[in-house]
Amino acid sequence: MSVASRWLRWSFARSDAVRDAGLSTPDDVIRYDGIRYGEDPLWQALDVYRPRGGEDEALPVIVSVHGGGWVYGDRSLYQFYCMSLAQRGFAVVNFSYRLAPEHKFPAPLEDANTVFHWVLDHAGRYGFDPRHIFAVGDSAGANILGLYCAACADPGYAAGYGFQCPDGFVPKAAALNCGQYHIERKRLPSTLGQLLIRDYLPGRGSAGELERIDVAAHITSRFPPVFLMTSNGDFLRGQAPPLYRALEANGVPCVYRCYGSARERLGHVFHCDVRSPAAQRCNDEECAFFRSFL
Distance between CA atoms of 164 and 152, rounded to whole angstroms? 9
State the CB neighbour count (10 A cutoff) for residue 87: 18
Residue 190, pLDDT above cutoff 60: no
Following CA atoms 287, 131, 227, 23 in sequence, which dihedral angle do they give, to the nearest 10 degrees?
A: 40
Give me the percent of the chain exceeding a pLDDT of 70.
97
Helical segments of 122-239, H only: 123-126, 140-153, 155-158, 192-200, 207-212
Distance between CA atoms of 82 and 261, rounded to whole angstroms? 26
- In the structure, what pLDDT confidence band is assigned to residue 4 with cuts at 50, 70 and 90? confident
pTM for this model (two decimals):
0.96
Distance between CA atoms of 195 and 193, rounded to whole angstroms? 5
Burial of 141 (0-12, 13-18, 19+ CB in 10 A): buried
Q: What mean pLDDT value characterizes the chain?
A: 95
SS3 176: strand
Residue 192, pLDDT above cutoff 80: no
* CATH superfamily, domain at 3-291: Alpha/Beta hydrolase fold, catalytic domain (3.40.50.1820)
> Which amino acid type is present at position 217?
A
Note the pLDDT of residue 187.
55
- In the structure, what pLDDT confidence band is assigned to residue 195 with cuts at 50, 70 and 90? confident
Residue 185, pLDDT above cutoff 70: no
Task: Evaluate the CA torsion angle 126, 169, 107, 143 in order and state its sign.
Answer: negative
Residues 210, 191: contact at Cβ < 8 Å?
no
Cis before 101 (ω within 30): yes
In 3D space, the residue among 287, 188, 285, 179 whose CA is nearest the CA of residue 242 turns out to be 179
Distance between CA atoms of 25 and 27, rounded to whole angstroms? 6
Cis before 202 (ω within 30): no
Residue 189, pLDDT above cutoff 80: no
- The number of angstroms, rounded, from the C-alpha of 187 to the middle of its chain's C-alpha atoms is 25
**Beta strand pairing call for 226-231 and 128-138:** unpaired
Residues 50, 30: contact at Cβ < 8 Å?
yes
Q: What is the mean pLDDT of residues 90-105?
A: 97
Q: What is the mean pLDDT of residues 47-59?
A: 92
Q: What is the mean pLDDT of residues 176-195?
A: 75
Residue 198, pLDDT above cutoff 90: no
Note the pLDDT of residue 186.
60
Distance between CA atoms of 276 and 1, rounded to whole angstroms? 34
pLDDT, one tens digit per residue, over 18-34 is: 999 999 999 999 999 99
Q: What is the mean pLDDT of residues 35-42?
A: 94
